[in-house]
Structure 1
Amino acid sequence: MGETTRRPDRRREIGRLGEDVAAEYIAGLGWTVLDRNWRTRYGELDLIAADGDTLVVVEVKTRASRTFDDPAAAVTPQKLRTMRRVTRQWLSEQDRFWPTIRFDIVSIRLDLADPDDLERATLAHHTGVVD
């Protein structure tokens, strides 16, 4: 039998590139990245970070298309509910108490001509998107 070649999942690769940009941005803010791509059967948290005594759960939305003006527009109310639910699960496994928890969105637009050129990526940070 012939060997099959798998085509790279470009959508997944775009997402990974965006998460790398977001993690670097967050580290540049002086925050500590505690977890990346934390999964349960109910969903996934892209980035979990500490900003001092504030736990920040970050949804990363990346696009290399013109689908949305700002990729954050793709975060639905259902996604925000899922983030809260999965965050409760993550917290239940932690020893530390967080007096403040905030949900942010970091949206990344990659350059259409060369999505792999991260120097040309643009970023928008939306803070406190869930009460």
Structure 2
Amino acid sequence: MSDMHLMFHRYRKYIFYLLALYVVGWGFTEYQSVFLGLILGTSISLYNLWAMVRKHRLFDKALQEGKKVSLGTASRMAAAVVAVFFSLKFPEYFHLISVVIGLMTMYVVIMIDFFIQHSRT
């Protein structure tokens, strides 16, 4: 398994733990819109990571065959816009700032994992 796939599995595990924590927060606190926004944003962030890993695999394959393939930046941005649209359309359910923080969660997880992996070596 390539390094990219190993990293993806680690990141996915961390995100699922965070999502479980957010679900507990949604169920047991009075800040339900905040936690639902975090759930929405983090879910879209996980989808964006999955799409990037999938496109990376296709990009590697196309590079070996000499073809051109885009990395799908527009589709990942469109997914983020959809999440923000839902938070603006349903503000009683989704907190906008929480959705934006959730969208950035993957980058924070990647940075933390980078420091953890490099501190081990």
TM-score where L is the length of structure 1:
0.34
Structure with bigger helix share is: 2
TM-score where L is the length of structure 2:
0.36
**Which of 1 and 2 has higher RCO (CA within 8 Å, sep 6+)?**
2
Structure with bigger strand share is: 1
